[in-house]
A and B are shown apart, each in its own frame.
Chain A
Amino acid sequence: MYAALWNLLPGPTWARVLLCAGIGIILLAVCFEYVFPWLSDYMPFNDTTVGN
């Protein structure tokens, strides 16, 4: 999976490393901003309210 990604990326090794880092940072940002806040609503430890 990651080998295929590596082969897909263009350019010399340093460019590929840079691209990988860029993709990683974007994925991290998407996770922190959108995916994790959405996911946290389904976590049992965040279910803090009691119905009346």
Chain B
Amino acid sequence: MFGELLVTVGVLLGLFVVWQLWWTDVEGARTQQQIVADMGWEEPAATDNGPQTAVATEHRDAPPVLDEPAAIGETFAQMYVPRWGSDYLKPIAEGTDKATVLDTIGIGHYVGTEMPGALGNFATAAHRTTYGKPYNKIHELKKQDALVVRTEDTWYVYKVTDSKIVLPQNIEVISTVPGVKPGEPMPEPTQRFITLTTCHPMFSAAQRYIVHGELDYWAPVSEGTPKELLEEQG
């Protein structure tokens, strides 16, 4: 009787591990794919002479910036990372709440940080492992790799500038100007940053893996697709 109980507990613990490490991923990837499909955004403009998409012109003036969504869990952007495969596409939603954003939608935007394209820091978080693991391959990113954020009407093409590993309490990585600690005077931002934050090492929450990038150019979706999404990764 007691032995049977122990065996049952053992099996249940094993099943929990299977659920956490495998099933949340299966479910998360499926949900996130569905969310992107449900957003139903128009395909970028095609060329006049054929089915290929046009290459978007690179705009380097001030890009249009959306207002920050009021509701946690509202999807407002999509993320493409060519280094992670041409099929990599994840939704981005407001907030970094675990249950409503990170465990389901995938990538979360830290509330109060800037929106894509704005002067300052567009700071995001996502799981490194489990729940669809949007930032699983963050360690593969190299300097100058493209991080492409799309809102319904605009492409924002960022380039990776820096990767590092910090402790969870080093929240200055998501400051308007990255590196300025809370309490220190915040200089007027002159650059348009993006920040990716995720857990490190894998399957642990002891540290954070941080990738910073800077806006290279922007383009209206109606003009085509950024060249970074059309070429093969070297």
Contacts and interface: CB of A to CB of B under 8 A. Distances in A.
B98 A46 contact: yes
Contacts, number: 39
A3 to B, nearest CB: 9
Interface of B: 1, 4-5, 12, 15-16, 19-20, 23, 96, 98-99, 102, 168-169, 171, 182, 199, 203-205
A28 B15 contact: yes
Contact of B203 (A2, A31, A45, A47): A45
B105 to A, nearest CB: 15
Interface string A18-52: 00000000001001100010011101111111101
A45 B98 CA distance: 13
Contacts of B204: 45
B94 to A, nearest CB: 15
Interface residues of A, number: 18
Given A28-B15, A36-B19, A36-B20, A48 B98 contact: yes
Contacts of B1: 1
B20 A47 contact: no
Closest 4 CB pairs of A and B: A36-B19, A1-B4, A48-B205, A50-B168
